[in-house]
Structure formats: C-alpha cells, structure tokens
Structure 1
Amino acid sequence: MDELFFTGLGAGAGAGDGFFRIAAATPKIRVADVEGNAASILACVRSAAAAGVGALALPELCLTGYTCADLFLDRALLRACEDALARLLAETAELPVLFTVGLPVAHGEAVYNCAAVCCAGRLLGLSAKRHLPNYGEFYERRWFAPAPLHLSGAVPFAGQGPVPFGAGLVFRCTDPGMDAVAVGVEICEDLWVPQPPSVAMALEQGATVILNPSASDEVIGKAEYRRQLVSQQSARLYCAYAYADAGEGESTTDLVFAGENLIAENGSLLARTPLFSCEMATADVDLDRLLAERRRSTTWAGPAFPSGGTAGVGFSYRPGAARDGAAAGEDGRGAGEREGSGAPLMRSALEVDRVFPRTPFVPADRGEVAERCETIFGLQAAGLKTRLAHTGSRHAVIGLSGGLDSTLALLVTVRAFDALGLPRSGIHAVSMPGFGTTARTRGNAETLASALGADFREVSIHEAVRQHFEDIGHDPAVTDVTYENSQARERTQILMDLANQAGGMVIGTGDLSELALGWATYNGDHMSMYAVNASVPKTLVRHLVRYAAGLYGGAIERTLLDILDTPVSPELLPPTGDGQIAQRTEDLVGPYELHDFFLYHLLRFGFAPGKIFRMACRSFAGSYDAHTVWSWLRVFYRRFFAQQFKRSCLPDGPKVGSVTLSPRGDWRMPSDASARLWLDEVDALEPER
C-alpha cells in the first residue's frame, strides 16, 4: 500500500477493527525424532509470531509423527514428549502466539491423542481427540482412548500444574479489547463425523476460531472434499477455521500425507498451501463480522440441553501472566500496551493482508457474474409474474427514461409477460420529456421499447408543469427542488392515470442505492404499484443490463450498451448548450461504487463508520484519496438517516439479495432516529488534506 496515501486518517486509524491473524503450518518432521521435531515446531512458532499470528494450528501428533504406530505405547517416547513440551514452553515464553502441539498423553490407564494448547510459555490445556478412526490404515483405537464425553478435570503435565484436559475446551482471551478471540480445538476425524465437537464449542462457549490439528492421508479426490468440509463447517458455525495437515517426514509405508493447510471464514476459503509442501497458510479473519452474523441470525442459539462436554479457559498473551488470563497488570494496562510486549492486538482494516471487494454486491469471480445475473432476473420476473397473475393485470406501465433503472425494469417486465404468455404489446413504455430530457435518452427509450415489442408512447410534461408553476406561483427560472420535483410528480401522475385507463399496474424503477440515499421524489418516482428494482443496487444494475445486452445481441445490444455509457441523471435540469446532460447524479450525491460499499457493510454486518472508512480506504486506494472517501461517507450517513421516512412507505418489491431496505421485515428504523452518534464518529475520522 502507498504509505503516503494513509497519512492523517483521523481518530481511530490504529484501532482494532476486529481482524485477527491465524495460521496453519506443517513442520518437517522425522517419525519418533521428538527432539528434532520439537526444533521444527519451535521454528514454526517463531515464524508465526514474527508474522503477527495470534493463533497457530500445527498437525496432529506432530511432536512424534502421526505414523509412529505401536511406538505410541512406549514409555520412552511418552516421557520424551512431555519433556520436549516443557522445553518448548520455556523457549516460547516471550512469544505472544497461541499454538497447538500434537502429542500422545498418558493419563491414568490410557493414552490419548492430544493437542497441547500453549501460549506465552504456559500450557493452557490438553485438548483430546474424541472420535478415533478405526478403518483402512487408521487403527487409532489400537493405541488411543477416545476423549471422555464429559470433561475430566485437570491433570499435571510438562512441569505445569493441573491443566484442563478433555475435548470441548475453548480458550478465551481476557486481554483488553480481545474478548472476541475464543479458540476451540478439535482433532482431525472430529471434523468428519456427523456431530463435530466444534458445534458445541461454538454454541455453548462462543468459539469464534476453531483449530484442527490433523493428519489427513492423501488419495484421489480427497483434497477437494476436505476443502469443502472445512469451508462448510466455518459457514455452519459462523467461525474461522484453521486446518493443519501432516506432511513431509511421515512414514510412507502405506500412506502419503500432503501437508495441505487451510483457513476458511464463514464459508469462504481464505488461504491454502499447495499439496506436498511444508508451508504456512496465513489469513486475517474478521471476528467482528462473524459475531455480527451470529447476532443477526435468528437460529443462532445454544442448545436447549447443553452437552456438558465443553468448558471455557481464560488466557492472556502477556508473558508471565497467570493462567486465568487476568485482563490487566498492576499498572492497569493489558496485552499490547506494555512497551515491547508485541501482543497481537485486533488489527485495523489498514493493517490486514486481505482484500475487500470494491463491489461487494457483485461476485468477485467474473465467471459467476452471468449465473448471478440470470438468477436475479429470474427472481425479479417471478415476483412480478405472481403479482400480475394475482391481480389479473394484463397491462404494465413503465416510465421509460432511457436510463439504467427504467431499462432494467422494462427487461424484467418483458420476462414476466413472456412467462405468463401475455403479449408484449401490453407493456406500455412511456417517455415523458421534460425540461432536462436529451435526444440521446429519449431516442434510446423509443428504440429499446420498439425492439422489445412493447407499446411506446410519448407524453410531454412541459405544458402541465408550466401550468403547475403558475398555479403555485413558482418562477420557472428558479431551478430549485420545487422545479425538479414538480416534474417527477407530474410523471408519476401520468403513469398512474395511464395504468387506470389500461387496467394495469405501474412498475417501479428505483433501485436500492437510491433508496439508501433517499435519491427519489417523495410520491414521485418513489411510488409505484410494484417495485422490481427495490433490492438491486446501482453497481449491480449495470451488470444486469450488460448481461441482457449479451443475451439479445443486435440492435437491442447496441442500444443497451449506449444506455450503459450514458451518465446517470434524473434529467430534471435543462441540458447544456450542446444538448448534453447537465445534471449528473454522482456529482451531487457521490460515486455509487462508494455508497454501495458503505451500504453493504452497514446493513449486512452492522460495522461502525470507522471500520467501514478504513476498509474503503484500503479497497479504493488509487481511485479515491482518504479525504474523498471520508467526505462521501459523511454524506452517506447524513442522507441515510434523514431519508428513512421515504423507505417507511415503500411499495412491494422482490427481495433478491441479503441486503434490502423493505420496511416490512428487512430494515426497520424510526424515521426520526438521530444520526448524531454515527456522524460524530465520522467527524472524528476526518483526515488531513
């Protein structure tokens, strides 16, 4: 990133935005070489700490090698593991990273396949594997006992006095500002069963990060299934999931281990290492987003009857802190506040190694855009088809301006009519030239309507609006809001009356971005009988129209492409001397790509202004400087709050995405809610020019 670009980003620029760096790594090992393996593990931990990783997963039984077989029952090997873990704890006492070490642990009359969870020189607990495979080449029950269904208290180990033992342990950071860090550990096969332990860890203990030390042998087709499994579990639990796989050094007597490390967040695979490598996968996961997903989900709740097999364990990243993870030291400062502590604080959006898509409403994979567009067209047309059939309407009236939104509404209406078997001549596309209408937009409207087989007519509003100005005593030379809105309301009246004449419905054209900003005339273009674009943002409208252009081809494609190249404008002010559009929407309210970015992260995750600002600065670096982003963010919040009254009485319209503003369920907000809290935070962010 350009360092100069981010100078003077205002208050809170260094504050944590909920991002937390996690990793999964595969050390090179030798089977049964405990000392050598401990050295490889230590190198991985040091590398992770240097990279600012807060939680690191290392493979299953990596201290011995997963393929030790009957050696797991050997007393010498068991003693060597405990001694090596004690030395690892001593060597990592100053490293603020939570990490797992896979090793066999003898307890009572049994040996358990465990992950020792360590941080800053302390053994936080021994997480034991619950589900032991006993098929193919995996005969773990020959050597290990499954973790008990209920936690079995604490045991002394590696020179540290009693530590929690069993499955279902969740390690929650107690350092200031890091309460969202709650790490659960399940081991390999635990993920592959119908009811993984991580489910209870997330539901009962609030685990936001799951680490999986694994030893997954490689066969044809398994890698893709494993990636899907990890991604789906992260989606199901609204969590981050790090999967560390055994690799080079394991015995190849019968199996090969490929060392593929994976990190997923809420269904998305953020990072993975190549097969047959010993590398580290690292990603900055957004814990703030994960908690937002859980809070907005009406089905996210703990089970009616807790399993009793989970427990929370507090910890601190501060060297020398007690195991209970006291939140602050004697001087009242917590992790990362002491000079040189190096604790991995929650990261700012400006610090993370992560990309935030500029157009979050549009698939990042361009190959998916066509599929997404077809689905959206289908949803819009299905909604309108049902409404037309229910009301018995055989006619639809659309104000066709030659702009993007009315073009999309016409394309959707054509689909709905075709699906119902109605003649397209029942679609009445009405051009209503006013004081700002240009020949380009009027011509495109007529060409498109005629090419699609719709009925096209023109009704000039010049004389009607002039009469209205005379009636209310408005000077037409004053091109103020009255001048503009009178035209919009006259057009709506014409459309409503034409719909009455035909016994049809007025199809609304306004989009989601305009609703968010209140960029609509109340009881003008704000009103219709069914609003097909109400949940489609402007950045997505463009893709839908371009997609339709490719489907139709010929004259329709040429017209649609010209509409795409036309500046977005309500055309309510007189054109320039050479007949060009004088009123450009984005010059007045700001770039839609910025507003759609703001809108998505506000409504989808409830992010605070500071986080949205820093994410936008990172995403749009090189296109907009920090002050430009800040100024339009302030406009967004001011308009979003001030214009809620327009959204409180919206007409019906189909929901096509996860973010909508329908007052009947998706967004409920008082029309007179104060914006002060949000604007104060935005003002505090003002960057230097």
Structure 2
Amino acid sequence: MRLITVATCSLNQWALDWEPNCERIKQSIRIAKARGASLRTGPELEITGYGCLDHFLEVDVIRHSWEMLASILLDESCHGILIDIGMPVMHNGNRFNCRIVALDGKILLIRPKMFLANSGNYREMRHFIPWNRPQYVEDYQLRELPEACMKLQASRTVPIGDGLVTANDCTLGFETCEELFCPASPHIATSLVGAEIITNSSGSHHELRKLDTRISLIQEATRKCGGIYLYANQQGCDGDRLYYDGCAMILVNGEIKAQGTQFSLNHVEVVTATVDLEEVWSYRSAPSRGLQSMSQPPFNKYPTDFSLSDPKSDYDPRLSPTPSQPLRQHLPEEEIMLGPACWLYDYLVRSKAAGFFIPLSGGLDSASTATIVYSMTVQMMKALDEGNESVKFHIQRLYGAYHEGELPKTAAELCNTILHTAYLGMATQSSSETRSRAEKLACAIGSYHQDLNIDDVFTAQKSLLTNATGFEPKFKVHGGTDTSNLALQNIQARSRMVTSYYFAQMLPLVRNRKGGGSCLVLGSGNVDECLRGYLTKYDCSSADLNPIGSIAKTDLKRFLRYATTALNLPILQDFLDATPTAELEPITADYVQSDEADMGMTYEEIGVFGRLRKEQKLGPLGCFLKLSHDWRAKLEVREIAVKVKRFYHYYAINRHKMTTMTPAYHAESYSPDDNRFDMRPFLYPPFYESWSYKKIDEAVEKIEKAERERK
C-alpha cells in the first residue's frame, strides 16, 4: 500500500472581502495539516471570491490578490503541505483565472483555466482569457511578490500554463469547474500521462436537482480514467443571486470516499480522506488504456522534492484507507428548505440589517417565503447547539438587540426578533380565511405580526383621479371596464409595497431595538408568475430580496408539504388546500378571483412552457410542435395552439417587468431573470401578428386534415 491523506474544502468566501477570505484559506490549510493531509485544494478564485464580476477588470483586484497570496506563502503555519489556491493573474496583458500550486512558500506552477464558463449565470469570457494552448507552458515574470517571498522562491520566474506537478511518489493534474463539464475534459489527458491525483476547484452554484449532474460527471471521470479526484467548491452567498452549494468531495476510481455538506452555515469546511496510490495503479492496468496513453502528447512536469505519502505509514495501525460511502443527497423540497435559507442568512449577517419583513397574504407564496426564513432560524439554532462561534456572534447581535445578554432557546424565539410580518388587507377584497391563515402561520413560526387594512390608502389614491377629472373608476364586478378594473387592482398592490417598506423601517424602532436599524423587505413572486408576467410592476413583489423568485409553484407546493412535517408546521396544509388568489378584486356571492383562471393556464403548464422556452430553446412554433405530441392525449391540437399562443403573448407583453424585478435566489434552470440569467429583449413585436403564429395555424390545419383523412 502507498497511503496518502488528501484534503479539499468548501469556503464561504465573499467578493472583495480580502483579509477574511485570506484567513479562511489559511484556516482550511491548518485544519488539513492537523488531520495529516499532505495536499490541500480549495475553491475557484477563492482569494477574491468568485462573484467579483466586473471588479475582475480592475488592476486593484489583481494587486490585492498577490498581496493576499504573499500573506499565505509567508505564513509558516501553511508550510509542510502542498497547496492549490485560486486567484486571478495578469500575464502579458491578459487576465487569467488561475490555480497557484505552492509548497513551503514557493510557487511551483501557475495553471490557468483553459475552458471558461460563459453561459447561463456565468460571464467568464467578459473577465478572463482562456489558456487556449494545451500542454503549453512558458515563464511568468514575478513582479508582484515582496522580497521575503522572492527569497523563498529563489527565482524571478515561475512556469505558467497547462502543466503538471510531480511529487516524489505521484503526479498531480488540475482542472477548474467548467472544464469538468466539457466533452474533452483535461482530466482525460492528464490521467493518460500518469497523473494519479486530479484537483477540481469550482465556483458551482446551487440549482434544484443539479447535484446529480455534477456527481455523475466526477464519478464517470474516475471510473473511466481511474485516479484520485478532489473536488472543492465555494459555499454560500458571495454577494449575488447565486448560492454556491459546497459539497466538497474526494473520490477514488469512481467510489466516494468523503463528502462535505451541500448547505451549511459554516464558513470553513475541510474534507479529508486517506487513499491508496496503489489502488490507482492497479485500476489503470488495462492494455487499451496503456495503448491510448502512449499516443497522448506529453505534458511539461514540474518536480518538487516532496512526498505525499510516508512509507512508514504503511505499517502504522492507526492509519488505514478511508472506506467508500454512498452519496448523500437532498430531496428537491429539502433543497428549497435549506438553500435559500442559507443564502438569506449570509445576506442578513453581511448586510447587518435588523431582520426581514414579509407582507403575509395568506397565500402559498408568501407562506413559502416566511417558512424559508423560519428554516433559516432553525439552521441557526442547530449551528448554535453545535458550538459554531460565528453563528453565535450573529445571534447575539440579532437577538441581543431585544434581549440583551440572552440567547434564544427555540427557533421561534429567534424568529420573533428577525422576522416581521403583516397582513395588509382590504375590507371588501380580503377574506377571513386568508387573514386567519396569515395569523396562524405567524403564530406557528413566532414572527412579530401585524394585522391591518389599507382601505384608507386605497381610497385616498383612488380619489386623486376622481377629484382631478370627475371620473370614478369601478371594478369589473361593479360595472367597470377592464382598464379601470386592472388600475384599481394595481393601486392595492403598489400600496402594499409602500406600506411594506414603511413598516420594515419603523417596526424595529417601535419595538425599541437597541442600536436601531431597519429590516430588509422580502418578496414572494414565484418563477412562473414572473415568466407569465402575472404580477404588478412595483407591487409587493418589489422588495430587497426574493428567496422564491426562481422556484416553480409546483416545487413550492412540494416544499410546503415537506416542511409541514420537517419543520413541524401543520398549518401549512391549509395553504396547500387553498385556491391561489391575488384577492385584488371584490369578493361577491358568485365570484372569487382565481390566479389560474386569470392567467388562462395552470402553474404546471407554465412550468412546461418555461422549460421548453429556456432549456430546450424553442420558440412558439417549436413549442407547439413538441406539445402537439406531448399533450395530444389530453387536449385537442387547436386547444394546444391556443395555450401556446396565449403563453408567448403574455410572456412578450410582460417581459419588461423582469427588468425591475427583485434580485432572486437562483434555483431553476428556466428562470426568466433578466438581470443575469435570461438575456432576452423586453420590447417585442406583437406575437399574435407574427410569422411564427401564422406557421402554428398552418400546422394546426395540416394536423387536423391528416386526422380527418385517417378517420
């Protein structure tokens, strides 16, 4: 046996948080050393934080990255272990996303990323240049390091490029995040030339059901090529819509040896495993692999006089290979319970806000948002019980502002100091059922709750037009037009937004919160309503943050059903049983407003349209042709055409709303988020007059004709 202990990690880095980021890196190295590891790898761009975006174009960011690296290189507590650190590097006037491989303060290799992530949420080509030269290495002139580092380096140049590092007993290859997802991933070539260890340093975000893809790719890589694979990832909110979901892993020949958490409030999590190099050598004994390896172009290898294994350890009874383990994976509804909660926690503690405010409507969406905040307090109390000092510090700030010197005993007690809720009703529009549900949920989770009506605000705003023009608008159920009906609904919705911000600022003062401060307003518009445009611009969907803005209604229902038991909130069943309604029109004896009736399609159908539009990249005609097969068993072809046309029409005329939508936690691959993820226009020509709709009509005629002829 040839045993080595290796370490990977998940770090909760924050964009431009220079010294704390550096300290978290150092802490992970010290923990790895304390556990006997001889190699430590970390997340992508861990020195800066992954989400710097256009800050990467600033020279200051490059300069400060080298300053933080120097601090690590000179820190002797980080010596005695091979370290792999991520940061941006400028070389020959180009910016590269790089790994810095070092030992005892000396840089061995700078390895730039070769294939950049440049779709969906990622814009790496905007900030970096890919190292588009496989197996090519040249000299990098060290100008940024202080003299103390240069003495350790003993050279003014280091290699930069697609190379490998060889220790006395094994060879290391490197790939970074997106490179794992490419058809010709670097691990294939590097394993063929003998690299037993591959490190992958990632900045990979959470998306519902995405972990399956990531894990399958890593397992397939090592099943096919053999080897030891170290996956590192950022974890937490580093300043944007994304939550990086950790799950650092160590795999050997397709088997999982160690796995970290996917959702956590820990800022540093180190995963270690003891593995056997001889297992890799045995696994790679197939002649076909050997034949391919002989035709693989060679890499430049940079040796270091360092052994990752200790021959004496083969006979040490205290050291043995880490056994394989099954994959630990969350259900999608559990992901919703944990991911947005951890994202909100990071935002809350880093913004130093007093807490959150949610306008509770008595409906499923705002109930989901409130339940996620309650889940956050449950995770905080769990971390407190586990002795997490960082979480304890923030609980003392939040809870201590109302209860000086005390700590909460339950999640509900903590929630009472963090979460403020209010039912903003109307005498003629709001039902006793929604009012009661809101109050019962607030009581169950412990939020500080208010019950009030906004009739006076509505009446005052409505009277402005009447006093100025003499015209009195009416709801449709009272004989008004479609225009006046919509305008009166919008007054209510926008009044709730203004009221929410007012209460968010004032309630901490009303409650005599020590130190002052105001709350962040949370929105509750789901991804399907955003896609369909079924919301008022600048209404209570406008907020500071929206934890459910990229989550489908069907997934929210699964989440609430799961949380009913997981969080012991039986009141949530009442929300699941209720008919979704905006309650913006007067309730009469024979009319109650219904969301799905208003939209002309179900939430489940909107989810289908969303995936076809975004994931499968289908326009109106392509969408219709696919659904003419998929939905044919339940709908006539002409009905399918009507639904497709209706969806694309409302998507087009409401697309402008997405330019102003609240920043939302990214969780769904068909999110219509205009600001980062879904780059489409917001001014469209009329779809009902479009060529694509004419082609749908032609297709309907042809399909119906063919069906008549078959009969």
- Which bin holds the TM-score, normalised by the shorter protein? 0.3 to 0.5
Q: Which has the larger radius of gyration?
A: 1
Q: Larger relative CO (CA 8 A, sep 6+): 1 or 2?
A: 1
- For normalisation by structure 2, the TM-score amounts to 0.42
Larger % of helix: which?
Answer: 2
